[in-house]
Structure 1
Amino acid sequence: MLPSRRFLNIRLAARSYRALALESSCDDSCVALLEKQHPSSQPVVIDEMKRTLRSVEAGGVIPTAAHEFHSKVMPDLVRDFCRKHKIDAQNKPDLLCVTRGPGMVGSLSSALQFAKGLSLAWDVPFIGTHHMLGHILASHLPSIHNPQQAPPQYPFLSLLCSGGHTMLVLSKSFTDHRIIINTMDIACGDAIDKAARELGMRGNMIGPELEKYVASIPSSTLEQFQTIRTLDRNNHFNFKLKPPLRKAKHQKVPDTITFTFAFLLSSIKDHMARHDIDEHTKQFLAYKIQDSVFEHLIDRVNLAFQKHLADGEFAGVEDFVCSGGVAANQELRRRLFTELKPGSRLNFHFPDLKICTDNASMIGVAGMGIFEQLRLKRLGKR
C-alpha cells in the first residue's frame, strides 16, 4: 500500500519514527527495526534478525526450496522479533519496508505478501524497495569499525558485486541513479561460487570458503603463483585463462563498458575435464579464480574512470562504495583501495561485513528514504 496523503502529512510530524523492514529476495529471511530521530538524521538500526536456508547438500540455492523455507520461517521470525520489541497493533511501527525485487519470485513473495498483510492489519504505510538501492544505501548505515566516517555524498559511485548482480552505478541524488557498467552474462559471485564448486569446495557460502582457502596458502606459494602467466597453456599447470575484453594499448575506449565472468567458469570446467588435480594445483586454481575476478572488476572500473573523467560524467565524484556479498572479501577491498585509478583521491566506503550480504537493515534505509522523498514531493504540490 502506497502512503496516503494522511500518512505522508502526519507520520513525520513526530520528532522520531520507526520502520519495520523485511527481506527475502534469495535464501535469507530477514527482519530489522530502524529508527530516525529526524528526517535529516541518519537511520539507526535498533535490532535485526536473519535466518538462512541451508543449501550445502543441494549444491546451491534451489528456488522452490527457498520459497518453502521463507514460507515456513518468515512468520515465526517476524512474530518472535515483534514480541522481543513489544511491537503489536497498539505499539506499531510508523512504516513497513520490504524488498519488491529483483530476486527469485517465490522468495520475494514471502516477505512481500507478509508485509502487505501487516500493513493492512496495522493500518501502516507500506513501501516496496529495489534490492540494489538497498545495497547502495547500506553505506549510509553507521559503521561499527569506522563510526566517525560520514556517509557518501552525492554524486558517488557504487560497485555492487554479489551472486545475483555485478554493476557500477553512478548516484547523483537519492532518485537519480545510472548504471555505468553491467554484466553481459553472469554475476561475479555466481562465477566464484560455481568455479569453486568445480574444485570440490562446499559450504553454505562458497565465496567466504574460497577466501579462507586462498588466505591459508603460504605467502611464498602465492608469490610464485603471481609470476605464472596463463595467456596460453605454456605454464607449469597447463592452465589457460585469458583476461576478457582487454583493450589494446592504443584502442579507443568502447561506448559501452561491460563485465563478463562466464569465461572463468568455462576455463575451470575445461581444465577439470582434462586433468586430475593435486593439492598444489587446487591452490593455484583457487588463487586464479579470486585473482581473475578481482582483476577484471578493477580493469573495467578503471576503464570507466578513464572514459567518464574525460567526458565529465564523473565530475564531483569523491566517494566510492563497494557493497554486496562479494564486497565482504578483504582482498577485494585491499585491491580496490590500491589499484583503482580515479584521477584524484577517493573516500572508500565498505559496509560492515554483515551488511554486505542480504539483510533487512539496508531495505529499511532505502524504504525510509523513499517515504521521505514521497512526502517532500507531496508537500511540494500543495
Structure 2
Amino acid sequence: LLGSLHVGTSFAKGLSLGLRVPIVDVNHLHGHVLSHFIRREETDVVPEYPFLCLLVSGGNSQLILVRNYNDMEILGRTIDDAAGEAFDKCAKVMGLPYPGGPHIDRLAAEGDASKFKFAKPHIPGLDYSFSGLKTSFLYTLRDNVKLDPDFIEKNLADLAASLQHTIIDILMDKLDKAVKQTGVRTVAIGGGVSANSGVRDAVAAYCQRRGLTAFIPPRLFTTDNAAMVAIAGYYKYIDRIFCCYDQVPYARVGV
C-alpha cells in the first residue's frame, strides 16, 4: 500500500538525518531472492552464482536469473494474476478465509489431485498466466453447484488438491524450460507461495531427478520479513549504494 510506504520512508529519512547515518533503499523482491543468504549458523550453505530463482507470491510470479547479488534478470513474469492471487481468489469462491493459500495447502493433503481438470494457459516464452485457470475453476464450481448446491462442501479437499496440482504444473513447466534455456545447475524458490508444501515438494523432486541443487527457504523466511530486507540492505551497504533523500517509494517494481 503506497500510503504505508510513504509513512515508512518518511520516518526512515527523518531517522537517517537525525542520526547522520546513510539510508539504504531496498527492493523487497531482492529480499525474497537473497533470503537464501541469511545465515543462522556459520555452517549454513548458500547458493552459488548463477542460479535460477522461482519467485512466487501474492503479487508476483517471476523466473529470475541471479548472476550476483546485484545482477538479476527477469526471464519471465505473470501477465495477469500471480500464483498467490490464484490461490487466494479461488479459495474465496469456495468460502475459505483469507489468505486462502494455507487453507488450500492443508485441504490438498487430504484430497485427490486428479479429481478435477482445469484449464492451463499456453503462453509463449517463460511468462505466466493464471487468469484462465481462475476462470475455469469458477465455471467448474458454477456448473456443478447448479446440479448440487452442496457440491463445494462435498468436494472441498478434491477441489483444493486439483487446483494446487494445476498451479504447480504451470509453475514447473516454465521452470523446466528456464533451466534448459539457461543451463543453470542450482534452483531456488522464494516468496509467500514457496511456503506451500506442494510447491516445495515439486521443486525438490524436480531438482533431484535432474541432478540439480535445490534451495528451499525455511518457512520463516518465505513471507515478507525483516531478515530478508536486512540481507538485501546489507549487500547494497557493502557496495556503498545509498539512497538519496529525494527518492520516493514504489508499490510495484521488478528486480
Same fold judged by TM-score > 0.5? yes
- Aligned: 1:328 with 2:195: yes
User: What residue ranges of structure 2 are gaps of 5+ in the alignment?
Assistant: 146-150, 242-255
Runs of 4+, deviation exceeding 3 Å: 340-343
For 2:33, the equivalent position in structure 1 comes to 136
Instruction: Give me the whole-angstrom Cα distance separating, in 2, the residues matched to 1:346 and 1:184.
Output: 28
Instruction: Give me the whole-angstrom Cα distance separating, in 2, the residues matched to 1:299 and 1:362.
Output: 27
Which of 214, 219, 237 lines up with 2:108 in the alignment?
A: 214
Instruction: Give me the whole-angstrom Cα distance separating, in 2, the residues matched to 1:365 and 1:126.
Output: 14
What is the CA-CA distance between 1:329 and the residue it aligns to? 1.1
For 1:179, the equivalent position in structure 2 comes to 74
- Superposed CA RMSD in Å reads 2.1
- Aligned: 1:348 with 2:225: no
Partner of 1:128, secondary structure, is coil
* Percent identity between the two aligned chains: 30
- Is the CA contact 2:121–2:133 (under 8 Å) kept in the aligned structure 1? no
Moved more, 113-122 or 128-137: 113-122
Matches within 5 A, 1:153-302: 153-203=48-98, 205-215=99-109, 217=110, 222=112, 225-226=113-114, 228=115, 230=117, 241-245=118-122, 254=124, 256-276=125-145, 277-302=151-176
Partner of 2:65, secondary structure, is strand
Q: Give the paired residue count.
A: 236
1:112 maps to amino acid: T
- Is the CA contact 1:195–1:264 (under 8 Å) kept in the aligned structure 2? no
What is the CA-CA distance between 1:363 and the residue it aligns to? 0.9
- Is the CA contact 1:298–1:340 (under 8 Å) kept in the aligned structure 2? no
TM-score, normalization: structure 1? 0.58
Instruction: Give me the whole-angstrom Cα distance separating, in 2, the residues matched to 1:270 and 1:365.
Output: 43
What is the CA-CA distance between 1:342 and the residue it aligns to? 8.3
For 2:239, the equivalent position in structure 1 comes to 373
Bigger Cα Rg: 1
What is the CA-CA distance between 1:150 and the residue it aligns to? 1.2
Higher helix share: 2
What is the CA-CA distance between 1:171 and the residue it aligns to? 0.9
Partner of 2:240, secondary structure, is helix
Instruction: Give me the whole-angstrom Cα distance separating, in 1, the residues matched to 2:39 and 2:32.
Output: 14
Partner of 2:176, secondary structure, is helix
Partner of 2:87, secondary structure, is helix
- Is the CA contact 1:302–1:340 (under 8 Å) kept in the aligned structure 2? no
2:163 maps to amino acid: I
2:3 maps to amino acid: G
Instruction: Give me the whole-angstrom Cα distance separating, in 2, the residues matched to 1:351 and 1:211.
Output: 17
Which of 10, 13, 26 lines up with 1:113 in the alignment?
A: 10
What are the Cα deviations for residues 172-217 of structure 1, in whole angstroms up to 9, with x where unaligned?
11221111111111110011000011111014x32112111222x2
Instruction: Give me the whole-angstrom Cα distance separating, in 2, the residues matched to 1:360 and 1:149.
Output: 19
- Is the CA contact 2:52–2:179 (under 8 Å) kept in the aligned structure 1? no
Query: Structure with the greater relative contact order (CA < 8 A, sep ≥ 6): 1 or 2?
Result: 2
TM-score, normalization: structure 2? 0.85
- Is the CA contact 1:305–1:342 (under 8 Å) kept in the aligned structure 2? no
